[in-house]
């Protein structure tokens, strides 16, 4: 099969021919129809996430068709359309896995990081990690749901019942979360880069009732905030924007250092927390809600051989839609 392979951090992906994947016990082979590019892919390419498997096929927002199943697979059938997310495998027996917190499993493996991912024609996946993709979503449109959507959903659950929700960094995850938040009756306040008037206009078009610069203050106090940008300096700003008792959730897998800030910003029972990875329950819960709302995504297709250009597009903000690699 053809694949785009990262051989060393900060190098471009190289087109390679790899052996066709074969499923082991509890595994399936999926013929890939689409794989959306994620900011995490950029962090891996840039060497900001330590110790990825090398050489590595990136990509963890995969949609495709099951074409083969290994011994022990019973919950998924050949011919079924599935989504393959970031969480690839867990141990299933540790204190995290047995208490509904498999996203924190110390022995977890991740798609497109510890295991080869979706910038290829096919991939092997643990059948237990595969998610059923609801009808009503095309392959390309479904792909961005499998990380931006899932992490956004987990962040939204972590922020509690905040009615006035601030979102710092208005990319794919923010656009999806805004649709869910609005469906739940919340009000969304978007924060974009200073001077990014086009981004502010786009955020309002995508459902925010207000949009402004991330170095400024919202027009009223927030009940909670989600930081989707990897800029640590936004965390104290978000804390300053939320009312007493409010929660600030950091949704990025990699973030620059958070500068020191006065205790007053945290006092009066404000909460600062992170979200790490996802659980299978997040996957089923979010995809069900996404179909019901329904959530819509904007995508821009790239051929497999153009995966490097797709990464460049995402790095630049991809205003035309989420880059999706199509084998």
Indicate if the pLDDT at residue 319 is higher than 90.
Answer: no
Instruction: Report, as an integer, the average pLDDT of 11-24.
Output: 97
CATH match of 150-274 with 3.40.50.720: yes
pTM assigned to the model:
0.94
pLDDT band at 316 (very low <50, low <70, confident <90, very high): confident
Indicate if the pLDDT at residue 318 is higher than 80.
Answer: no
Backbone angles phi, psi at 129, to 5 degrees: -90, -15
Number of separate helices (H) and strands (E) present in the chain: 8, 18
Backbone angles phi, psi at 220, to 5 degrees: -150, 165
Indicate if the pLDDT at residue 210 is higher than 90.
Answer: yes
β-sheet bridge partners, residue 299? 322
Where in the chain are the domains? 2-145+297-326, 150-274
Indicate if the pLDDT at residue 9 is higher than 80.
Answer: yes
The CATH T-level fold of domain 2-145+297-326 is: Quinone Oxidoreductase; Chain A, domain 1 (3.90.180)
Cα 132 to Cα 8: distance, rounded to the nearest angstrom: 33
Cα 136 to Cα 130: distance, rounded to the nearest angstrom: 18
pLDDT band at 317 (very low <50, low <70, confident <90, very high): confident
> Would you call the peptide bond into 294 cis, given omega within 30 degrees of 0 as the criterion?
yes
The pLDDT mean for the chain works out to 96
Instruction: Report, as an integer, the average pLDDT of 63-72.
Output: 97
b/e code 147-163 from CB counts within 10 Å (16+ = b): bbbbbbbbbbebbeebe
Cα 320 to Cα 300: distance, rounded to the nearest angstrom: 7
Q: Give pLDDT, residue 268.
A: 96
Q: Give pLDDT, residue 320.
A: 80
């Amino acid at each position: 099969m053809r694949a785009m392979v990262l051989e060393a951090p900060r190098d471009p992906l190289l087109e390679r021919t790899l052996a066709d994947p074969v499923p082991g016990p509890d595994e399936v082979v999926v013929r890939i129809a689409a794989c959306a590019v994620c900011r995490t892919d950029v962090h891996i390419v840039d060497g900001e996430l330590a110790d990825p498997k090398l050489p590595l096929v990136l990509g963890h927002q995969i949609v495709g068709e099951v074409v083969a199943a290994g011994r022990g697979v019973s919950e998924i059938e050949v011919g079924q359309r599935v989504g393959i997310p970031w969480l690839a495998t867990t141990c299933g027996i540790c204190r995290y896995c047995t208490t509904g917190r498999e996203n924190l499993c110390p022995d977890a493996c991740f798609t497109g990081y510890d295991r080869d991912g979706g910038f290829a024609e096919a991939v092997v996946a643990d059948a237990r990690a595969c998610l059923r993709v609801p009808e009503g979503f095309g392959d390309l449109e479904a792909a961005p749901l499998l990380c931006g959507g899932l992490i956004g959903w987990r962040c939204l659950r972590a922020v509690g019942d905040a009615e006035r929700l601030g979102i710092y960094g208005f990319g794919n995850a923010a656009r999806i979360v805004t649709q869910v938040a609005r469906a739940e009756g919340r009000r969304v306040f978007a924060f974009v880069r200073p001077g990014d008037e086009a981004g502010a206009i786009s955020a309002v078009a995508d459902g925010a009732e207000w949009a402004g610069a991330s170095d400024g203050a919202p027009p009223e106090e927030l009940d909670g905030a989600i930081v989707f940008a990897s800029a640590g300096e936004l965390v104290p700003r978000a804390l300053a924007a939320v009312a007493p008792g409010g929660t600030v959730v950091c949704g990025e897998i990699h973030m620059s250092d958070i500068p020191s800030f006065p205790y007053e910003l945290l006092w009066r029972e404000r909460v600062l927390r992170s979200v790490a990875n996802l659980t299978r329950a997040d996957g089923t819960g979010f995809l069900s809600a996404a179909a019901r709302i329904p959530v819509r995504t904007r995508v821009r297709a790239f051929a497999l051989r153009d995966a490097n250009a797709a990464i460049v597009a995402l790095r630049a903000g991809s205003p035309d839609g989420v880059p999706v690699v199509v084998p």
